Structure 1
Amino acid sequence: MLIAQITDIHIGFEPDSPDEFNRQRLDRVLADLKALQPRPDLLLASGDLVDRGDRISYVRLREALEGLPFPVHFALGNHDLRDVFADVFPEAQFTDGFLQYAIDGGPVRLLVLDTLEDGRHGGGFCATRAAWLNARLDEAGDVPTLLVMHHPPVEVGIAWMNTDPAEPWVELLASCLRGRSNVIGLVCGHIHRAMTAKWEGLVVATCPSTAPQVGLDLRLLDPDVPDGRALIVADPPAYALHWWNGRELVTHWDTAEDRAVLARFDQNLQGMVQHMMDERPGTSGRLL
């Protein structure tokens, strides 16, 4: 199973420009995903879909995603507004006012969580959302399950984007997952960078953004002393591919940009490739 992920699209950062920079970056990523072979089974768009929560930006997002050869599933981030999103995407599956739902039918079950907390830049998770998650995990305890959310529940080291481990929502989410054998990992957005961490015995992977990325700076930060550090950088638009090989979830990240090819699988390198694959006892070249 091959799961594509995009995140932090931020359509509408330039509200009066249908052809804005962030839309161009999204289009470049979507062109890459449409050309992929094998084709992804589905695409996750994991929050901060638009920049200001306005209707026209959600409409433009919907237009950008039309005609894709795979289904798109959404999570919400801190820049999103639930009611406006629901107006433009009426098919979205809300439960108790939260965009939380299961994606079934493949070898991996996906549970999309809603970590949007009105008025907060950081995440949130409440008793209502936790009860839903516990019920879904209980009902399919033997199915490999991947959690999808916008905010990662880990401290990432970039001071102004960090999650504090002491935030109550982090502990509440952790309490839902302890002792579970069916959860294989969490995929998130929000950080605008590729990152992995071990949390509660699970791998957390964040997807880099289609919008501009967050600068990598791990120094301490004093909010009262502007130090000129780079907060946002124009690295290429990016995406993640999560491949379930039947045993483990493997995450790759890539960027949508032109690049020089330095070697190809041709007759000159055929012998090397054959030798490398002959070393393997199984059939490791085929996606599941």
Structure 2
Amino acid sequence: MLIAQLTDLHIGFDLDNPDELNLHRVAAAIDYVKGLSVKPDRLFLTGDLTDHGDRGSYEKLKALIDGCAFPVHLCTGNHDDRTAMKQVFPDLPIEDGFVQYVIDEPEVRIIVLDTLDPGHHGGAFCHRRAGWLKARLGEIPASRPVLIVLHHPPIETGIPWMTSHPTEPWVVMLDKAIGDRPNVLMISGHIHRSITTQWHGRMLAVAPSTAPQVALEMAPIDPERPDERPMIVAEQPGVALHLWTGEAFVTHHAQVGAPDVLARYDRNLQPLVRSLAEEHDAVEPGAAAA
């Protein structure tokens, strides 16, 4: 199973511009996913789908994904509006007022969470959402792997203006709702950068955005003293690919666009490929390394 992820699309940032940069970047990222040699089984768009939560921007997104040959699943971010999303995407699952739902694959349960708190930049996770998550986790054996999909990563990132504190109430609430369940992987967005970490023993992969990225600057920031540091940079749109191997998820982050090709699989590289294949075939399945 291959799961693709795009995040932080921010369609409508330049609302009155018919040639909007963010829309072009989203279109390029979706074309990238559609053109993969191994087609994804699902595509998750993990929040901040629009910049202003307006219906027109959601309609532009709908036009972009209507041509996808695989299911596309939506998640809310702090720039989104649940009502406008539901108007444009009437099949959007809403549970108890939140965009949260379950997708069961043969080996993995996927749980999409809603961390939106309207008017607030950071994440939110209340008692109602926590109760729903506990119930969904309680429906399946503890040994069954779970992929949790959400917008806000509940972590300190090292980028001082784009981070969550470990004692924030929503972070504590989410941690308690998951509890000590093993085999939990989390994927998110929000930071506009690629980050991989552990959160209380759970693997967490933050995908890069399709909108321009946040500059990787870890120095402390003073809200009272602008220091001319870079904040947003024009790196290429990003995409995440999560491959289920039968034992675990392997996550790849890539940039959209045509890179310079320095080597191709031709006769010159055939001996290398052949020798690697022979090494791989020589290892019996399940054999321990020496």
Same fold (TM over 0.5): yes
**Match status 1:124 vs 2:124:** yes
Name the CA distance, whole Å, in 1 between partners of 2:275 and 2:241: 27
Residue 264 (structure 1) shift: 1.1
Name the CA distance, whole Å, in 1 between partners of 2:258 and 2:67: 24
Listed as ranges, the gaps of 5+ residues in structure 2 are 286-290
One-letter amino acid of the structure 2 residue matched with residue 145 of structure 1: V
Name the CA distance, whole Å, in 2 between partners of 1:212 and 1:248: 30
2:257 match: 257
Q: More displaced, 36-45 or 253-262? A: 253-262
Residue 69 (structure 1) shift: 1.3
**Match status 1:226 vs 2:226:** yes
8 Å CA contact 1:18–1:60 kept in 2: the answer is no
8 Å CA contact 2:133–2:178 kept in 1: the answer is no
8 Å CA contact 1:197–1:204 kept in 2: the answer is yes
Name the CA distance, whole Å, in 1 between partners of 2:137 and 2:30: 32
Q: Alignment length, in residue pairs?
A: 282
Q: More displaced, 214-223 or 106-115? A: 106-115
One-letter amino acid of the structure 2 residue matched with residue 199 of structure 1: W
Residue 178 (structure 1) shift: 2.2
2:76 match: 76
1:109-157 deviation per Cα after TM superposition (whole angstroms, max 9, x unaligned): 2100000012210000001001111111111123211000000000001
1:210-239 deviation per Cα after TM superposition (whole angstroms, max 9, x unaligned): 000000000001111111111111100111
1:286 match: none
Residue 17 (structure 1) shift: 2.4
Residue pairs, 1:17-56, within 5 angstroms: 17-56=17-56
Aligned partner of residue 159 in structure 1, secondary structure: coil
1:156 match: 157
**Match status 1:190 vs 2:193:** no
Aligned partner of residue 15 in structure 2, secondary structure: coil
One-letter amino acid of the structure 2 residue matched with residue 153 of structure 1: P
1:20-78 deviation per Cα after TM superposition (whole angstroms, max 9, x unaligned): 10011111111111110210000000000000011101111111111111110011000
8 Å CA contact 1:3–1:243 kept in 2: the answer is yes
Name the CA distance, whole Å, in 2 between partners of 1:201 and 1:282: 31
Residue 19 (structure 1) shift: 2.9
1:57 match: 57
When residues 282 and 209 of structure 1 are mapped into structure 2, their CA distance, relative to the original with a 3 A threshold, is farther
Instruction: State the percentage of identical aligned residues.
Output: 49
Residue pairs, 1:95-110, within 5 angstroms: 95-110=95-110
Name the CA distance, whole Å, in 2 between partners of 1:198 and 1:222: 28
Aligned partner of residue 175 in structure 1, secondary structure: helix
Backbone CA RMSD of aligned residues:
1.2
When residues 282 and 274 of structure 1 are mapped into structure 2, their CA distance, relative to the original with a 3 A threshold, is farther
One-letter amino acid of the structure 1 residue matched with residue 54 of structure 2: D
Name the CA distance, whole Å, in 2 between partners of 1:14 and 1:216: 24
1:247 match: 247
Listed as ranges, the gaps of 5+ residues in structure 1 are 284-288
Aligned partner of residue 160 in structure 1, secondary structure: coil
When residues 282 and 120 of structure 1 are mapped into structure 2, their CA distance, relative to the original with a 3 A threshold, is farther
One-letter amino acid of the structure 2 residue matched with residue 252 of structure 1: H
One-letter amino acid of the structure 2 residue matched with residue 40 of structure 1: P
Name the CA distance, whole Å, in 2 between partners of 1:84 and 1:194: 29
Residue pairs, 1:83-102, within 5 angstroms: 83-102=83-102
Residue 282 (structure 1) shift: 5.8
1:266 match: 266
**Match status 1:208 vs 2:208:** yes
Name the CA distance, whole Å, in 2 between partners of 1:153 and 1:20: 31
1:225-273 deviation per Cα after TM superposition (whole angstroms, max 9, x unaligned): 1111111111001110011111121110111112111111122211111
Aligned partner of residue 218 in structure 2, secondary structure: coil
Name the CA distance, whole Å, in 2 between partners of 1:230 and 1:210: 18
